[in-house]
Amino acid sequence: MTNLFKITGTVTLKKGAGRQLKSGGMWVYDNEIDTFSETVEDGGLIELHDFDDYFMGIGFVNRRSKITVRMLSRHEGEINEEFIKQRVKDAVSYRMDTVDTSSCRLIFGEADFLPGIVIDKFSDVLVVESLALGIDRFKQLIVDDLKEILKEYGMPIRGVYERSDAKVRQLEGMERVKGFIGEEFDTKVEIVENGVHYMVDVVNGQKTGFFLDQKYNRLAMQRICKGKRVLDCFTHMGTFALNAGIAGALDVTGLDISEYAVSQATENARRNGLEDTVHFRCANVLDELPRLAAVGEKYDVVILDPPAFTKSREATKNAIKGYREINMKGLKLVKDGGYLATCSCSHFMTQELLAKTVKEAAKAMHKRLRQVEFRTQAPDHPILWANSANVPESYYLKFFIFQVVDEK
């Protein structure tokens, strides 16, 4: 274990580089670095120095990645087992204070000062996503610490599954990995969120198996959906649709392009005794919304929860067109006085940009919007603030609820 904590060398910044880091960021990019000392090992710990040799902190290094250094500490001092355990303790303690911990995100990478690792808890199962070479070496230690700490809180864990199968691992020079950490177990896990029961498939579900970040946004929609006719677009496992159903919606339709997602959602409706009011069908939302409008369909509530239309700054312009188009199509189906819930899960689609895009869509459809609420991701996905901007990727989910009225 001692080699794990060895400082392998020094990385020195170019003069004038590291502006994001100096403003509270957690990353150093390849083009900001002047020199590596000869002893530096990829995946190992290094000291980061400014151009004038001023100590800036300790982090993981990986010369194969554009994000070459991920910061672990701003202070001089030993990184050891106790250091890591304290970070894990702090992450769990924060969730105990802020969210329902029956199912939640326990570790959110940089926002929990454990860069590159995400761990979700679904009932008594942990799902791990490790995306950086340095933190990957600490993965087993972090999992063991987490299991021990949760046991102390009376939450024993029966199994751990790894879903480090995202393409981004290849940018780190790492293979995509998927499988059990420790003993095998039944990977179908039943969870309860906002009173809704789901069967989560941690092996085949998207990302870690279930999107926990919208938990309280789904809850916020329950009040609005009671007694209403609801259309849930990009429904995935039927989460918004089922929250509407359990709140007493009259009729709910969920649309998704994935047959697997629709079968999961349909099974979840049966699990909650909602099969008479909540229905799902496989459809391309972009094609289906104009078809529904053409036959004169109208809904009290339309929910738009699309996948990220942009995962890079360069693709943002095209993404804006996509968000504008989907919101125009959604607005056309909302009754006068009905409600639109619309969101973006892209870090690059800022709150201001999404608001501007939705405003343009409403203008094009001759609708007026009255903002009911603006929300972000659940508190178990904390947004880490920095002096210049939020730490990259930690603030990504923007969620608007509007009342939609015809122009008066």
CA pair distance 328, 358, nearest whole angstrom: 8
Place of tokens 């672990």: 72
Q: Residue 293 has which token pair?
A: 């409008």
Q: Report CA dihedral (129, 175, 110, 76) to the nearest 10 degrees.
A: 130
Structural Rg of the chain based on CA atoms: 23
CA pair distance 163, 60, nearest whole angstrom: 21
345 assigned to active site: yes
Distances in Å between the Cα of 359 and the Cα atoms of 364, 402, 407 are 9, 11, 13
CA pair distance 233, 215, nearest whole angstrom: 17
Backbone torsions φ then ψ of 27, nearest 5 degrees: -120, 150
Residue 278 exposed, middle or buried by CB count within 10 Å (0-12, 13-18, 19+) = buried
Q: Report CA dihedral (13, 113, 68, 41) to the nearest 10 degrees.
A: 100
Which residue from 111, 6, 22, 3 is spatially nearest to 388, judged by alpha carbons?
22
- Of 104, 225, 343, 345, the active-site residue reads 345
Other CB atoms within a 10 A radius of the CB of residue 316 amount to: 16
CB 399 within 8 A of CB 217: yes
CA pair distance 271, 289, nearest whole angstrom: 28
- Report the interhelical angle of 139-152 vs 81-98 (nearest 10°): 50
Which residue from 326, 205, 306 is spatially nearest to 257, judged by alpha carbons?
306
Which active-site residues does the annotation give?
345
